[in-house]
Amino acid sequence: MPEPIIQVGDLHKSYGTVKAVRGLSFAVEEGEVFGLLGPNGAGKTSAVEILEGMRTPDSGVARVCGLDPQKAGLAFKEKIGAVLQSTSLPDKIRVSEAIELFASFYRRRANTNDLLERFQLEEKRSAFYSHLSGGQKQRLALAMALVNNPEVVFLDEPTAGLDPQVRREIYDIIEELKRGKKTVLITTHYIEEAERLCDRVAIVDQGRVIALGTPRELKQRSAGTTRIEVRLARAITNGQLGRLDGVSDSREFDGTYVLHSSRPPQTIVALVKQLEAEGNELQSLEMFSPSLEDVFIELTGRRLRD
User: What is the tens place of the pLDDT at every residue in 53-101?
Assistant: 999 999 999 999 999 999 988 889 999 999 998 888 999 999 999 999 9
CA distance 271 to 85: 43
CA distance 134 to 117: 18
CA distance 227 to 63: 39
pLDDT of residue 9: 96
CA distance 207 to 133: 34
The DSSP letter of residue 203 is: E
Paired sense of beta strands 152-156 and 80-83, if any: parallel
Would you say 254 and 239 are in contact if contact means Cβ atoms under 8 Å apart? no
* 294 vs 35, more confident: 35
Q: Taking Cα atoms as reference points, which of 43, 62, 51 lies closest to residue 205?
A: 43
pLDDT of residue 115: 94
Question: Long-range pairs for 173-176 at CB < 8 Å and ≥24 separation?
Answer: 173/119, 173/139, 173/142, 174/33
User: What is the tens place of the pLDDT at every residue in 274-290?
Assistant: 999 999 999 999 999 88
Q: Taking Cα atoms as reference points, which of 146, 59, 148, 60 lies closest to residue 108?
A: 148
Q: Taking Cα atoms as reference points, which of 193, 148, 144 lies closest to residue 172?
A: 193
Q: Taking Cα atoms as reference points, which of 228, 220, 240 lies closest to residue 264?
A: 228
pLDDT of residue 86: 84
Mean pLDDT (whole number) for 95-109: 94
- 297 falls in which pLDDT band (50, 70, 90)? confident
Q: Which CATH number fits domain 224-289: 3.40.50.1100, 3.30.2030.30, 3.30.70.980, 3.30.70.2190?
A: 3.30.70.980
Name the CATH superfamily housing domain 6-219. Answer: P-loop containing nucleotide triphosphate hydrolases (3.40.50.300)
- 238 falls in which pLDDT band (50, 70, 90)? low
pLDDT of residue 294: 87
What residues does each domain of the chain span? 6-219, 224-289
pTM of the model: 0.88
**Strand-pair partners of 35:** 186, 201
User: What is the tens place of the pLDDT at every residue in 167-192?
Assistant: 998 999 999 999 989 999 999 999 88
User: What is the tens place of the pLDDT at every residue in 133-150?
Assistant: 989 999 999 999 999 999
Which residues neighbour 194 within 8 Å (Cβ) at sequence distance 6 or greater?
Answer: 35, 37, 186, 188, 201, 215, 292
Would you say 104 and 135 are in contact if contact means Cβ atoms under 8 Å apart? no
Which percentage of the chain shows pLDDT scores above 90? 75
